[in-house]
Amino acid sequence: MTVTSGTTRAEYCVIACAEAWRGDGEILASPMGLVPAVGARLAKLTFAPDLLLTDGEALLVADVAPMGARPQTVEGWLPYRQHLGLAMGGRRHVMMGASQIDRYGNQNISCIGDWARPTRQLLGFRGAPTNTLNNPTSYWIPRHSARVFVERVDVVCGVGNDRAVGPYHALRRVVSDLGVFDFATPDGSMRLVSVHPGVGVEQVVAATGFPLAIGDDVAVTREPTPEERRLIREVIDPRGQRETEVRS
Amino acid sequence: MSAEEVVARLRSGMTIGIGGWGSRRKPMALVRALLRTGVTDLTVVSYGGPDVGMLAAAGRIRTLVTAFGTLDSIPLEPHYRAARESGAFELVELDEAMLMWGLTAAVHRLPFLPIRSGLGSDVMRVNPRLRTVRSPYDDGEELVAVPALRLDAALVHLNRADRHGNAQYLGQDPYFDDLYCEAADHAYVSCERVVDTEELAKAGGPQTLLVKRLSVAGVVEAPNGAHFTACDPDHERDEAFQRHYATTPWSAFAERFLGGSELDYRSAVAAWHEEQL
C-alpha cells in the first residue's frame, strides 16, 4: 500500500461510508466490506459515538479495535437470532454490497441469469429482503461499473424504491469508488450527490448502466479532517486493508 | 448411539433440518455418515454450508430450503454453486429471517408466522406457493405468511451433551439448533463429548443448556464432529482443509476422504495435514 500525505481514493470512500451513519444515534451499524467497516469505526470514534458495533460475530464491542485485531471490551451479546430480530426492530443501519443495483436501488446478491437455472450462483438472498423492508439500508460498491449499476437486476433481493412495501423501507445512500449517490428525487431514483476528488461526472455517467439524476451542483466528496486521517491510518486501519478493496 | 445408528433411521424422501450456520458448528460427522448410506431424495432445511455442499454434490438433495450457501471465510460454497448452476436440485430460497420464522412456527405448532420480509422482493416470485395475510387490526398491513418448516429429522452438533439428550453449546452463538430439534419429529445430537448430567452446569451457566432431552431422540459422541467447520471453543475452523475441500473436484475429495468410516476420515485428514508440512 502507499500512504502519502494526500488522501487516497479508499480514504475518500471511508469518509463517504462513515457519513452514512451520521445522525443515526444509538443504533447498530452493520458494515459489510472492509471500507464500510473502517467507515463505521471512524464514525463511532468521531461524530457518531453512540453507534453500536459487533465483532463480526455474536458480540457487541464497546472499543474500536484496529482492523483484524480483537476488540477488548464486550458490551453485549448479539447471536444471529437476536441480530435478525434487531433488523426487524429497525434499530440498525446496514451497508450491504451489491452484485447488481438498479436506478431505484433494487439490489441483487442471489444469482446472475435466470434464477431457475443461474449462469452464476452468488451469495443468495441472505438477509437483504428483511434488511430493506425493516431498517435503513445503504450500499457499498467497490468497483463502479455498468455491470453493477444496471438497468434491471436479475433477481431483486434488496427492495428498491419502486417496489417499496410497508412503513419502514428507507434507502439512504450508495457509496462507490467513484462517488456518492442518494434517492432524493421525486420518483425515488438514484441521484449523484458527489464525486470523489479526481473523478469526473462524465466518468460516473459512463460507468452507470442507467440514466442518473444529476443536479446542477454536484459536490466533491469532502476531505477527511487531519484527525480523521490520523484515526484511519494510525488507529483503525494501520495495515491499510482499505487500499486492497479500492482501485487507486 | 453411533452415527451409523442415527443415519439408519433416516429414509429417502425425508425432510431433514441441519443445524449450525454456514461453516460453523455443522454436524459434519452425521453428514458424513449419511453420505455412506444410500439415503437420497431429501428435502434439506439449512443455513447452508458444507453440509449442503456435500449432500448436493453427492446428488442426495431433491429440494433445498435455504437463504445462502457459504463457507464464511470463502464466501461461496463451491459445490452448492456448481449444483445450482447445473440445476441439480429444486431450490426454495428464502430470506434468513423467513427461515427462522418457518422453524419458529413449526416449533410452536403454528401453520405459519407473519413477517414483512419478502414483500417487494423476488422471494415472492421464485416461491409462488408463498401466501400473504392481512393484519386483522387497524394497521391492515399485508404480510408474508411463512409456512411452518416441520422436519422429519434434525441433525445438530453441540459441544457437550449427556446421554439423555440434554445438550450444551459453549461457544458464543446457539445458532438455531434448539429450533431445529424442537421442529423435528426426531432430533439427533452429536457432540464433542458426552458427559454426566452433573458436569453440564459446571461447564457453563444454565443458559448454555440449549437443547432439552424431551426433544432429542439420540446422542452421538463425535469428537471433532463438526470438522472442518468451526466448533468454538473446542476447535476452530480447519481453514487449510476447508480450502482444500473448496478447490478439489468433488469426486477426488470424496474418494480420498469420504470412502471409509469416520475414523478413516480422521486418518485421511491427518495424513493430508502431514503432507502440507
A4, part of any domain: no
Q: Is B117 on the interface with A (CB under 8 A)?
A: yes
The pLDDT of residue A215: 83
The pLDDT of residue A5: 65
Q: Is B122 on the interface with A (CB under 8 A)?
A: yes
Q: pLDDT tens digits, residue range B230-277?
A: 999 999 999 999 999 999 999 999 999 999 999 999 999 999 999 998
In 3D, which of A73, A59, A68, A65 has the Cα closest to residue A44? A65
Residues 6+ apart with CB under 8 A from B177: B19, B20, B25, B156, B158, B167, B169, B210, B211
Q: For the whole model, what pTM was predicted? A: 0.97
Enclosing domain of residue A61: 9-243
A47, part of any domain: yes
- Number of other residues whose CB lies within 10 A of the CB of residue B132: 13
User: Do B245 and B253 touch, CB atoms closer than 8 A?
Assistant: yes
Q: How far apart are CA B49 and CA B26, in angstroms?
A: 8
The distance from CA B2 to its chain's CA centroid, rounded to whole angstroms, is 18
Q: How are beta strands B15-18 and A213-220 bridged, if at all?
A: unpaired
Question: Are A133 and B120 inside 8 Å of each other by CB?
Answer: yes
B125 chain-A contacts, CB cut-off 8 A: 115, 156
Q: Is A88 on the interface with B (CB under 8 A)?
A: yes
A181, part of any domain: yes
Q: How far apart are CA A140 and CA A25, in angstroms?
A: 21
The pLDDT of residue A83: 98
Q: How many helices (H) and strands (E) does chain A have?
A: 6, 14
Question: Are B115 and A157 inside 8 Å of each other by CB?
Answer: no
Query: Is A93 in a helix, a strand, or coil?
Result: strand
Q: How far apart are CA B124 and CA B121, in angstroms?
A: 6
Label residue B263 exposed, middle or buried (CB < 10 Å: 0-12, 13-18, 19+).
Answer: exposed
User: What ipTM is given for this predicted complex?
Assistant: 0.96
A104, part of any domain: yes
Note the helical H segments in chain A: 9-20, 34-45, 80-89, 128-134, 201-206, 226-230
Q: For residues A14-45, b (16+ Cβ closer than 10 Å) or e, as one string?
A: bbbbbbbbeebeebbbbbebbbbbbbbbbbbb
A2, part of any domain: no
Q: How does DSSP assign B228-273, residue by residue?
A: TSBBTTTB---HHHHHHHHHS-HHHHHHHHSSS-HHHHHHHHHHHH
Q: Is B67 on the interface with A (CB under 8 A)?
A: yes
- Number of other residues whose CB lies within 10 A of the CB of residue A211: 11
- Number of other residues whose CB lies within 10 A of the CB of residue A109: 23
Domains of chain B (ranges plus CATH)?
A: 3-93+149-237 (3.40.1080.10), 119-147 (no CATH)
User: Do A35 and A142 touch, CB atoms closer than 8 A?
Assistant: yes
A123, part of any domain: yes
Between A58, A127, A133, which is nearest B96 by CB? Answer: A127
The pLDDT of residue B72: 97
Q: How far apart are CA B121 and CA A166, in angstroms?
A: 12
Q: A104 vs chain B: nearest CA distance in angstroms?
A: 12
Q: How far apart are CA B100 and CA B47, in angstroms?
A: 10
Look up residue B10 and give its amino acid: L
Q: How does DSSP assign A12-37, residue by residue?
A: HHHHHHHHHTTT--SSEEEE-SHHHH
In 3D, which of B207, B222, B213, B199 has the Cα closest to residue B172? B207
Q: Is B115 on the interface with A (CB under 8 A)?
A: yes
Question: Are B95 and A79 inside 8 Å of each other by CB?
Answer: no
Nearest CA in chain A to B103: A81
Evaluate the omega torsion of the peptide bond into residue B223 and state whether it is cis, within 30 degrees of 0. Answer: no
The distance from CA B197 to its chain's CA centroid, rounded to whole angstroms, is 25
Question: Are A81 and B98 inside 8 Å of each other by CB?
Answer: no
Listed as ranges, residues in chain A with pLDDT below 50 are 1-3
Give the CATH number, domain containing residue A138. 3.40.1080.10
Nearest CA in chain B to A168: B116
Nearest CA in chain B to A80: B175
Domains in chain A, number: 1
The pLDDT of residue A3: 45
Q: For residues B169-200, b (16+ Cβ closer than 10 Å) or e, as one string?
A: bebebbbbbbbbbbbbebbbbbbbebbeeeeb
Q: pLDDT tens digits, residue range B218-229?
A: 999 999 999 999
Listed as ranges, residues in chain B with pLDDT below 70 are none
